[in-house]
Structure 1
């Protein structure tokens, strides 16, 4: 069984991170992808049988305006950590037809109900919220490019994320990334970077590894995750925050 992570760009012009972890927690694939065909081609060797694919993007969007119920509930628990979710609704061009995430999951024939007994499922996940819980953070890591964040801060925060992910080797379940060539190349590119654009190329695949781990975590420790929302309006799955 494989556990895949997809840090999905809302449009096909921007890169998407793709990662796959096996049932023992070893990283088997990590890379950047382009359009839908590229994403599906990279995942194809791992999703023909039992699999859980964790996608950082809305998978079920039916509300014409505002936020989905699951987003409201997640924001209630995670806003204090700076880990609130952006609203998704069909009034936004990205989701007018349900969204890219839903389209990819249909192409892979994945069940979108996280409580389903199906051996082939997709989970909507949120790496920022997951990282808060898994790494015991008081605030999200600030490695995403935004106004007023300079290169040294972005690089330092992305290296912190790398360190936390590598530290999951001692977690339950464990994640083993250190011996994967793709991971080693990614982390070296961050350490050697001198420009923000170089960091942005590494962000998405690194986030995808965290998504894949959430798929593994949710499968191995179902009592330690919270499912926000419902299958009809959209579910977000994340490790349960401390106050819950």
Structure 2
């Protein structure tokens, strides 16, 4: 069985991160690709049999305006951690013809119902919420390039995320990344980066690893996840916030 993470870019010209974890929790692939054909080519070898694919992208969007109920519910819990989501609706050009993530899942023949027991499934995930819950963060890590964030801050925060991912080797649901040559090279790239553009090249594959891990976690610990929304109106799957964080 394989668990695939797809950190889907908003535009077809931007890189999409792809990561794959095997049934033993070992990272067996991580990298970035560009267009839909290359995404499908990268993940098809791992999705022909039993699999769960975690897309950091909407799979179901049918509301014409505003935000999906899933986003409203997730934001209620995660906004205090600066992990709220952007609203998705069919009024936005990128969703006018249906969500890209949903089209890719359909092309792969994956069941998109988060409560399904089908052997080949896709779920929508959200790395920011997942890392808050998994690593008990007081706020999201600020590794995304935005105005006012310098290279040193972005690098430090991205390395903190990579450190957290590596510590998952000792979690109840383990993930082993340090045995992957591609992961080791990715960390070297981040450490040596001097420009924001260089960090941007690493950010998507790292996020994809988080997506793949959420797919593992959802499969291994279904009682420890929260599904915000539903398959009819759109949903987001994330590890549940610990009770003491949720009550703050």
TM > 0.5 fold call: yes
Q: Which residue of 2 aligns with 1:60?
A: 60
Q: How much does 1:242 deviate?
A: 2.1
Tell me whether 1:169 sits opposite 2:169 in the alignment: yes
Please list the CA deviations of residues 64-112 of structure 1 after superposition, one character each: whole Å capped at 9, or x if unmatched. 0000000000000000000001000000000001111011001001111
Q: Which residue of 2 aligns with 1:114?
A: 114
Tell me whether 1:207 sits opposite 2:207 in the alignment: yes
Inter-partner Cα distance in structure 1 for 2:231 and 2:53: 16
Tell me whether 1:85 sits opposite 2:85 in the alignment: yes
Q: Which residue of 2 aligns with 1:193?
A: 193
- In structure 2, stretches of 5+ residues that fail to align are none
Inter-partner Cα distance in structure 1 for 2:66 and 2:44: 35
Inter-partner Cα distance in structure 2 for 1:172 and 1:2: 18
DSSP-derived class of the 2:75 partner: helix
Q: How much does 1:44 deviate?
A: 1.2
- In structure 1, stretches of 5+ residues that fail to align are none
Inter-partner Cα distance in structure 1 for 2:5 and 2:242: 24
Tell me whether 1:159 sits opposite 2:159 in the alignment: yes
Q: Which residue of 2 aligns with 1:75?
A: 75
Inter-partner Cα distance in structure 2 for 1:101 and 1:139: 27
- Which deviates further from its counterpart, 234-243 or 122-131? 234-243
Q: How much does 1:165 deviate?
A: 0.3
Number of aligned pairs?
244
Q: How much does 1:10 deviate?
A: 1.4
Aligned ranges 1:36-47 → 2 under 5 Å: 36-47=36-47
- Structural RMSD (CA): 0.7
Q: How much does 1:126 deviate?
A: 0.3
Superposition TM-score, scaled by structure 1 size: 0.99
